[in-house]
Structure 1
Amino acid sequence: MARVRISENGSVPLPQAVRDAHGWKPGAELEIVDGGRGVVLQPVETEQEVPAKKKTLTIEEFLAMRPKYEGPPITDEMIEQAVLEEAKRRWNEKNSR
């Protein structure tokens, strides 16, 4: 966590690590939202930054995009057995501490 001090003219510098983590470049516009005991900074999206509306896929388009499984056949019973074994492993791991 970084600490900053409000300057005499009321400016608050944002640490470089915070700006980098959020991709805020010089000139970025931020909205200040009052949160009671603190404030939240939110970037203001300009027309250029608003992402284009995402296309809705049909089920056929979605199924065509998914990777094809090329391994051996797997049954529902095999999947259920694997899930149970993993649940047991996690239970034993959690309770052995």
Structure 2
Amino acid sequence: MQVTRLSSKGQVIIPKALRAAHHWEVGQELIAIDVGDGILLKPKKPFAETTLAQVAGCLSYQGKLKSLDELEDAIRQGVIQQWHDRS
């Protein structure tokens, strides 16, 4: 357990070992949650949490189904084009 103090401005320093353990860096946004006898700090996520069922609709495909060979060929062509563009 590590001890820290509340400043006159209401600021608390999170000990370096805890910041490192959670990979929190300068500018990290945190959510403060009242848990009754204390406060829980959690990193703010860039997007609201969703389930696969909530987003699966955007994955639908209306065209003719592609075979595995067609998919692999498209990937191959994309890689060749990407390398060609770098020349």
Q: Provide TM-score, normalisation by structure 1.
A: 0.47
**More contact order relative to length (CA 8 Å, sep ≥ 6):** 2
Tell which structure's C-alpha radius of gyration is larger. Answer: 1
**How big is the alpha-carbon RMSD for the aligned residues of Structure 1 and Structure 2?**
1.5
Q: Which residue of structure 1 lines up, in the alignment, with residue 35 of structure 2? A: 35
Identify the residue that residue 25 of structure 1 maps to in structure 2.
25
Q: Match of 2:25, SS?
A: coil
The residue type equivalent to 1:23 in the other structure is H
* Matched ranges for 1:52-71 at <5 A: none
SS in 1 for 2:6: coil
Deviations for 1:25-67, whole angstroms, at most 9, x for unmatched residues?
A: 10000000000001100100125xx8xx7xxxxxxxxxxxxxx
After TM superposition, what 4+ stretches of structure 1 lie above 3 angstroms from structure 2? none
Q: Matches of 2:46 and 2:16 in 1, distance apart?
A: 22
Determine the C-alpha separation between the residues in 2 that align with 1:46 and 1:24.
14
> Where in structure 2 are there 5+ consecutive unaligned residues?
53-87
The alignment covers a number of residue pairs equal to 49
- Mind listing any 5+ residue stretches in structure 1 that lack a counterpart? 54-97
